[in-house]
Chain A
Amino acid sequence: MEIDPLIFRLSIFILSIFVGYYVVWSVTPSLHTPLMSVTNAISSVIIVGAIIAGLSGDSKSVFNTSSIFGFLAIALAAINIFGGFLVTQRMLAMYKKKKKEKQ
């Protein structure tokens, strides 16, 4: 008997929780705010589902109820992706080591 593919996905899920557990504990507490903003950005990879939904319309009509929800989700996820990564970048740029000499 073959193993249900769901079991493989479940394995990936469980192992990723463990990876997440150890990786996040090693994040330095001073970077916890960037951690939250970057997790925000990456969880918006949900945009892949939104894209599939958005492209589900046939060649005659791009828009059907399902694809409209897809397009809305694309916009929401895109706000998060750009906003999340850019604000993280902006914060991380401020973390400097010893101060440079004043000009």
Chain B
Amino acid sequence: MISQNLSAIFYLVSGVLFILALRGLSSPETSRQGNLFGILGMIIAITVTFFSIGNFSSGFVFVLIFILIGGSIGAFIAYKIPMTAMPELVAGFHSLVGLAAVFVAIAAFLNPTAFNLGLPGNIKLGSLIEMSIGAAVGAITFSGSVIAFLKLQGIMSGSPITFKGQHPLNAVILVSIVVIIYLLCSTQSSNLFWILLAISFLIGFLLIIPIGGADMPVVISMLNSYSGWAAAGIGFTLENTALIITGALVGSSGAILSYIMCKGMNRSFFNVILGGFGATDDVSNKQTKEQRPVKSGNADDAAFLMKNASSVIIVPGYGMAVAQAQHALREMVDTLKKNDIKVSYAIHPVAGRMPGHMNVLLAEANVPYDEVFELEEINNDFANADVAFVIGANDVTNPVAKTDPQSPIYGMPVLDVEKCKSVLFVKRSLSPGYAGIDNDLFYKENTLMLFADAKKMTEDITKNL
């Protein structure tokens, strides 16, 4: 058994190691080392906890058994999961953090003596407040993440579920959560604690169902943030520095990512939260639809254009990942590079289904990361490039976002693809993208539409090069 002070210092050390873990992610070279810092921090935190309790009886064996069970499941998932499924995985992981926070709060509520928080029915006021906040946020994270997971996995429809009186209902529930926490703290009633958990689960569920599939990047980031705040709440209850530091780090990380995603779509955070986006746009779309001429070509034309180019910019979108075309794409690029053509990739902030998703998918296909550029880095290069190859992306290239104030995506940062000498647009049909609007780029003079499956088209082009 080690002293409280010594263990507090070790928890601080592990908190600092977690900061270094995130710091490592500032560049790919340092990132692997950062991850090791994170693992080290975790090992320190767990070991110190064992020593500070100093109870190596039969309970200790069970702790190890449960760590082993959870650990093997986690390791198995980590090695099996395809990179396209990362958003689902992260949503699933968030739900586990939320549920773990709820369970720890329940355990602390039932047996406060073990946590040094007072006696059952007479828990210290401060601890009870922290505990209920941690439990409520954890419950919201859990049920919200489960809905996000189901939507991403396609088990639940991605379209927003809205009903009359939705927002007032949510507001009433949120207010009642605050009231119940207040009552719980003044009465110490365990019934109120269970009611608090139940309605927190309910509100997490209700908050996510109206948010459409296209907004999932924001939702995942937001739930990431929630899981952090839940951990911090429990950290205050347990008076544990490592948990407080981590909770704050994760909380702000998720908040920043939500902000970046909202900015990438030019939506306000509240607009996303209130939901319903993508449900009403279909109507207006039908009215404005008109027949305009498009130029379409085949793999041969595309190969000819690219062979005569000196620089090509690839614009990948989520459709590329759906078609599993990333490996075929990289092979095409290899062939282009053999012909001394300069190739780079342009990634829009919301190109995938979660922050940075497209970068991971390209990295998996062995695309070196120094050929991949973010929107701000590469947008000026389109004017000097010969060919833009748009594959599986749509809304993020739509020039309407810059020209038409009436458009729902007006103001969204888009890639200036139309400034290229010629644009190759791989797409199955002329159907609109997530935002439900027509893309002006299809009808431009310098655009050649390649109607085909992304993977097949890319392979055919490579053959013709």
| Pair from one complex | yes
Query: Are A20's CB and B251's CB within 8 A?
Result: yes
Give A74 to B19 CA distance when docked, in angstroms: 23
**Which of B73-81, B308-316, B456-464 touches A?**
B73-81
Select which of A24, A41, A45 is within 8 A of B253 by beta carbon.
A24
Query: Are B104's CB and A49's CB within 8 A?
Result: yes
Query: Are A48's CB and B83's CB within 8 A?
Result: no
Q: What residues of chain A lie closer than 8 Å to B23, measured between beta carbons? A: 23, 26
Select which of A50, A59, A86 is within 8 A of B78 by beta carbon.
A86
Query: Are B22's CB and A23's CB within 8 A?
Result: yes
Q: Which residue of B lies closest to A94 (CB)?
A: B363
Name the residue among B23, B71, B72, B236 with the largest chain A CB count within 10 angstroms.
B71
Q: Which residue of B lies closest to A31 (CB)?
A: B25
Query: Are A17's CB and B368's CB within 8 A?
Result: no
With A40-B93, A54-B62, A56-B107 as known contacts, state yes or no: A21 contacts B252, CB within 8 Å.
yes
Query: Are A36's CB and B221's CB within 8 A?
Result: yes
Give A56 to B19 CA distance when docked, in angstroms: 30
**Which of B157-165, B168-176, B239-247, B418-426 touches A?**
B239-247
Query: Are A80's CB and B357's CB within 8 A?
Result: no
Q: What residues of chain A lie closer than 8 Å to B251, measured between beta carbons? A: 17, 20
Query: Are B35's CB and A75's CB within 8 A?
Result: no
Query: Are A42's CB and B18's CB within 8 A?
Result: yes
Name the residue among B55, B248, B374 with the largest chain A CB count within 10 angstroms.
B248
Q: What residues of chain A lie closer than 8 Å to B355, measured between beta carbons? A: 29, 32-33, 35-36
Q: Is B42 an interface residue (CB 8 A)?
A: yes
Count of B residues near A, CB < 8 Å? Answer: 117
Query: Are A85's CB and B35's CB within 8 A?
Result: yes
Query: Are B38's CB and A42's CB within 8 A?
Result: yes
**Which of B223-231, B298-306, B317-325 touches A?**
B223-231
**Which of B94-102, B276-284, B287-295 touches A?**
B94-102
Query: Are B93's CB and A37's CB within 8 A?
Result: yes
Query: Are B70's CB and A82's CB within 8 A?
Result: yes
B203-242 interface bits toward A, Cβ cutoff 8 Å, 1 = contact, 0 = none: 0000000000000000011001001100110111111111
Q: Is B266 an interface residue (CB 8 A)?
A: no
Query: Are B227's CB and A36's CB within 8 A?
Result: no
Give A19 to B355 CA distance when docked, in angstroms: 21
The number of chain A residues touching the other chain, given as a range, is 35 or more
Q: What residues of chain A lie closer than 8 Å to B108, measured between beta carbons? A: 49, 53, 66
Give A36 to B49 CA distance when docked, in angstroms: 26
Grouping DSSP codes into helix (H, G, I), strand (E, B) and loop, the B interface class, with mixed when no group exceeds half, is helix
Give A58 to B103 CA distance when docked, in angstroms: 20
Query: Are B28's CB and A30's CB within 8 A?
Result: yes
Q: Is B6 an interface residue (CB 8 A)?
A: no
Q: Which residue of B lies closest to A21 (CB)?
A: B252
Query: Are A36's CB and B257's CB within 8 A?
Result: yes
CB distance from A10 to the nearest CB of B (A): 8
Give A64 to B455 CA distance when docked, in angstroms: 56
Query: Are A80's CB and B22's CB within 8 A?
Result: no
Give A43 to B356 CA distance when docked, in angstroms: 20
CB distance from B5 to the nearest CB of A (A): 12
Select which of B72, B240, B242, B356 is within 8 A of A32 by beta carbon.
B356
Q: A1-52: which have CB < 8 Å to B?
A: 5-6, 9, 12-14, 16-17, 19-21, 23-52
Q: What residues of chain B lie closer than 8 Å to A55, measured between beta carbons? A: 53, 55, 59-60, 63, 114
Query: Are B228's CB and A27's CB within 8 A?
Result: no
Query: Are A38's CB and B356's CB within 8 A?
Result: no
Query: Are A95's CB and B31's CB within 8 A?
Result: yes
With A67-B59, A80-B74, A93-B32 as known contacts, state yes or no: A98 contacts B89, CB within 8 Å.
no
Select which of B55, B72, B103, B249 is within 8 A of A76 by beta carbon.
B103
Give A2 to B41 CA distance when docked, in angstroms: 32
Select which of B22, B74, B227 is within 8 A of A81 by beta carbon.
B74
Give A27 to B70 CA distance when docked, in angstroms: 29
Query: Are B42's CB and A53's CB within 8 A?
Result: no
Give A6 to B117 CA distance when docked, in angstroms: 13
With A12-B245, A28-B26, A99-B368 as known contacts, state yes or no: A65 contacts B42, CB within 8 Å.
no
Q: What residues of chain A lie closer than 8 Å to B60, measured between beta carbons? A: 55
With A32-B355, A72-B103, A77-B96 as known contacts, state yes or no: A42 contacts B244, CB within 8 Å.
no
Q: Is B182 an interface residue (CB 8 A)?
A: no
Of the A-B pairs whose beta carbons lie under 8 Å apart in the complex, a sample of 17, sorted by A's number, is A9-B241, A12-B241, A13-B244, A19-B248, A20-B22, A23-B249, A24-B249, A40-B94, A42-B250, A44-B42, A45-B18, A46-B231, A47-B45, A66-B106, A78-B67, A83-B93, A91-B360
Given contacts A25-B256, A48-B243, A55-B53, 18 further A-B contacts (CB under 8 A): A23-B22, A27-B26, A30-B356, A35-B356, A42-B246, A49-B107, A62-B57, A73-B104, A75-B70, A75-B73, A77-B70, A78-B69, A79-B70, A88-B38, A94-B363, A94-B366, A96-B369, A97-B368
When A and B form their complex, which 6 residue pairs have the shortest distance between CB atoms, in order from nearest? A78-B70, A32-B356, A83-B74, A56-B114, A82-B74, A53-B107
